[in-house]
Amino acid sequence: MITSPLFLKFIRSAPDVKEEEVTMILDHFTILQVKAKDHTVREGEICKHIGFVNKGCFSYYTLSESGRKSIIHFAFEDWWTGDLQSFLKRQPATTYWQALEEAELITINRSDFEHLCKISQAFKYLFDLKTQTAYIKILNKSAKDKSETAEEKYLRMLEEYPQIIQRVPHYDVASYLGIAPESLSRIRNKISK
Amino acid sequence: MITSPLFLKFIRSAPDVKEEEVTMILDHFTILQVKAKDHTVREGEICKHIGFVNKGCFSYYTLSESGRKSIIHFAFEDWWTGDLQSFLKRQPATTYWQALEEAELITINRSDFEHLCKISQAFKYLFDLKTQTAYIKILNKSAKDKSETAEEKYLRMLEEYPQIIQRVPHYDVASYLGIAPESLSRIRNKISK
DNA sequence: GGCAGTCATTGACATTTGTTAAGAAGTGGT
DNA sequence: ACCACTTCTTAACAAATGTCAATGACTGCC
């Protein structure tokens, strides 16, 4: 039985959800311990489960043809992990998901997910809302990424996710910002003065 | 009564949808003619309706504090328009939506939308799927935008949306690519050789 | 037809960022 | 404690992009 307060809070945030339904939802999930640097999804594989980050943090990225890593985003506590396209459509994944620290995921597999969506209005609601919110967020981010300089992006990141620079290797932060690690160093140096 | 083949095709793409339900869905929509350069949404306003682009094309963008325009994307035939966050949450919009050509929208207002989602499983399904697909698309795009040069982004845009460069002012294309109009000119000049 | 305004292009120059290489600092394993 | 390895930083130079200014093409209006 899942007891994570973080996850419980998330489930109970659905409108008018009864404890009976909460319990039923929880029953569909499993705890998964992930070691630092392990991948939970790799390109080409079918993503078998999505997971709620109860502890730790993940990066998700793509590799270009030339082998260049491009970090799309990080997932900290309270976020979901997994290649959505691969999970939902049972297609090969196009992204990698890697734990940057020892982590704990609260996971659900594809068939349990489908079943749960059918029997729980609350869970379906939460999932669709999460997708909607994430979509709106990345649209806004996309606009800012186009108009800001690297330094402005870095400062905005510090405001929005001050934990990133502490918990994530700087070369991954640089990739997330779309710049070279050396450029990030320069920017940090300039700011510290 | 809406007769647009494009819109009908979209509605009928829902699984197991009967003609009765299709008719009911259509009844919730209204045709809106939009003149070139008119805005359907402005920052600060509540977005009253979302619209299916039956004809024409739109740009949607944000204005930074310094007044700088930043094009998030374009919407051609078969896309939806409207500030989703504003529409769904009844909050002031953060984006502008502008017709770049004379256009025709098939629109629905907020309360009809809510009603329709409740009475039509098919419509709710189509809307959530559209959001999901758009989300996945922009995630993939976000990754590429970070790792590609401006020239690569321009070439990719030409492959994915060859119509853009014909139908949209180049300074808007440049903004969409996140570069200065002069840089776009240079890239086009270089490629044409 | 002429005029004003907008848009795309070009060139010169400044600024930013990438690349390459080197070294310093930190980390983990034995 | 030592070594190997990774990460971060710095410097010098190259490449890409932004900025500013000027020009020509085009459009719509009177």
Residues A42-64 have pLDDT tens digits of: 999 999 999 999 999 999 999 98
In chain D, which nucleotides are within 7 Å of a protein Cβ? 7-12, 16-21
Q: Are residues B106 and B170 in the same domain?
A: no
In a domain, A143, yes or no: no
Output the pLDDT for position A47: 98
Q: Which residue of B has its CA nearest to A72?
A: B143
CATH classification of the domain holding A10:
2.60.120.10
Q: Are residues A81 and A164 in the same domain?
A: no
Query: What residues have CB less than 8 Å from A73, skipping those under 6 apart?
Result: A59, A60, A176
Query: What residues have CB less than 8 Å from A11, skipping those under 6 apart?
Result: A17, A22, A25, A26, A122, A123, A126
pLDDT in tens, A128-176: 999 999 999 999 999 999 999 999 999 999 999 999 999 999 999 999 9
Output the pLDDT for position A54: 96
- pLDDT band at B193, cuts 50/70/90? confident
Q: Are residues A99 and A159 in the same domain?
A: no
Chain A residues touching residue B86 (CB < 8 angstroms):
none
Nearest nucleotide by C1' position to the A180 CA atom:
C18
In a domain, A62, yes or no: yes
CB contact under 8 A, A178 and B145: yes
Q: Are residues A105 and A154 in the same domain?
A: no
Q: Are residues B125 and B49 in the same domain?
A: yes
Output the pLDDT for position A27: 97
In a domain, B164, yes or no: yes
pLDDT in tens, A80-124: 999 999 999 999 999 999 999 999 999 999 999 999 999 999 999
For residue A138, give the 3-state DSSP assignment: helix
Looking at the predicted structure, is the pLDDT value of residue A75 above 90? yes
Looking at the predicted structure, is the pLDDT value of residue A15 above 80? yes
Q: Average of pLDDT values for A2-19?
A: 95
In a domain, B135, yes or no: no
Closest C-alpha among A51, A47, A37 to residue A7: A51
Pairing of strands B49-55, A39-41: unpaired
Q: Are residues B33 and B95 in the same domain?
A: yes
Best of A83, A89, A147, A152 to substitute, by most chain B Cβ atoms within 10 angstroms, is A147
Output the pLDDT for position B179: 96
- pLDDT band at A188, cuts 50/70/90? very high
Separation between the CA of B182 and the C1’ of C9 (whole angstroms): 8
Domain with B173, as residue range(s), is 148-193
Chain A residues touching residue B135 (CB < 8 angstroms):
84, 131, 134-135, 138
Tokens encoding A66: 């030339």
Q: Are residues A130 and A153 in the same domain?
A: no
Q: Are residues A111 and A165 in the same domain?
A: no
Contact at 8 Å (CB) between B57 and B92? Answer: no
Closest C-alpha among B119, B92, B112 to residue B17: B119
Q: Which residues pair with B80 in a beta bridge?
A: B52
pLDDT in tens, B133-177: 999 999 999 999 999 999 999 999 999 999 999 999 999 999 999
In a domain, B134, yes or no: no
Helix axis angle, B121-147 to B110-119, nearest 10°: 110
Q: Average pLDDT of chain B?
A: 95
Q: Average of pLDDT values for B19-43?
A: 95
In a domain, A42, yes or no: yes
Output the pLDDT for position B71: 96
In a domain, B189, yes or no: yes
Nearest to B70 among A71, A95, A146 (CB): A146
- pLDDT band at B43, cuts 50/70/90? very high
Output the pLDDT for position A171: 96
Nearest to B131 among A88, A131, A145 (CB): A131
Q: Are residues A107 and A179 in the same domain?
A: no
Last residue of a domain, one of A105, A120, A138: A138
Based on the structure, what is the number of domains in chain A? 2
Q: Are residues A10 and A56 in the same domain?
A: yes
Q: Are residues B65 and B110 in the same domain?
A: yes
In a domain, B139, yes or no: no
Q: Are residues B103 and B15 in the same domain?
A: yes
pLDDT in tens, B86-113: 999 999 999 999 999 999 999 999 999 9
Output the pLDDT for position B12: 97
In this complex, is the C-beta atom of B62 within 8 Å of any C-beta atom belonging to chain A? Answer: yes
